[in-house]
Amino acid sequence: MSDQTVTLTLREDEIQRLYNTWKEAEHPCSSPYIRFQLRPENAVITCYTSGKAVFQGKDADVYASPFIRVSEPAETSDFTSRFPQAGSDEVGTGDYFGPVCVCACKTEAQDIGFLQAAGVQDSKQITDETIRKIAPLLQERLIHSLLIVPPVKYNSIHHTYNMNAVKSLLHNQAYVNLAKKTKLPELLIIDQFTPERAYYKWLKQEQTVIRPIHFETKAENKFLSVAAASIIARNAFLQAMDEYESFYGMKLLKGAGTRVDDCAREFIRKYGKDRLKEVAKLHFKNTERL
């Protein structure tokens, strides 16, 4: 299965979406029958003037999947399949290094086939590699708002707020921003991290508090909007980590275990203790252990 070919006939809007998503990987092509050719990682995508798109290479199916029309949606309960809906999730709160990223994302009934074909339903199972490929497609198609709080900012507010307070503020802010882009649906879902009452308690000082919100644990397995938000947030986190790693010229491990401590020690050796706040969330137990 190392090399595969998927041929699809695409509508004009799909061709546009395909092009917009991967235009940075465009490869010049002079054939009069070829409209454009894209060469993202592990694939060559050729779009012909006829409207046919040929996906070739190891990851051909990954790139093609969002454009394969699915006639039958997977089984979901009445409630989780209520659309439109918007969901939100956060990434990076369990990682010593890196930012906290929160995304709120709106999905409509006509997005279901696209999301399922892209493999969005079980976001926790998706590898980082696939996240990087799916997220740009989701960001292109779905109305969403994304907040990225870098460690420096996080460390400057954390002495006043605890982690649940920070999460509550960010989720609320993500919905406030989403409301500026689109009419918020009636069904809003947060992947629950704190009891509902505590959530609103942390928002007491806020000018705008978005409600009502449905809170549910493991919501990313049940609501496509939360799954999509989770993927977009995860991708933003991965991209930020890539940037830090190349800027500081060293690997920064995810999570908060003892191997992360070793990584932090290496950072201190290279850049000094004072600069740890640029890459790490200092209130974690890891800091004490160093």
Q: Which residues are at the interface with Mg ion (CB under 5 A)?
A: 89, 191
> Which residue number, 17 or 167, has a Cβ lying nearer to Mg ion?
167
Q: How far apart, in whole angstroms, are the C-alpha atoms of residue 99 and residue 177?
A: 19
Pairing of strands 44-48, 52-57: antiparallel
Q: How far is the CB of 236 from Mg ion (least distance, A)?
A: 14
Buried b (16+ CB within 10 A) or exposed e, 32-55: eeebbbbebeebbbbbbeeeebbb
Q: In residues, how long is the chain?
A: 290
277, 151 in Cβ contact below 8 A? yes
Q: How far is the CB of 22 from Mg ion (least distance, A)?
A: 29
164, 94 in Cβ contact below 8 A? no
Q: How far is the CB of 91 from Mg ion (least distance, A)?
A: 8
- DSSP-assigned beta bridge partners for residue 97: 280
The one-letter amino acid code at 264 reads A
> Which residue number, 40 or 98, has a Cβ lying nearer to Mg ion?
98
Q: How far is the CB of 284 from Mg ion (least distance, A)?
A: 18
> Which residue number, 62 or 229, has a Cβ lying nearer to Mg ion?
229
Residue number with the smallest Cβ distance to Mg ion: 191
Q: How far is the CB of 40 from Mg ion (least distance, A)?
A: 28
> Which residue number, 231 or 263, has a Cβ lying nearer to Mg ion?
231
> Which residue number, 210 or 229, has a Cβ lying nearer to Mg ion?
229
45, HSE (Cβ side, Cα atoms, 13 Å): 28
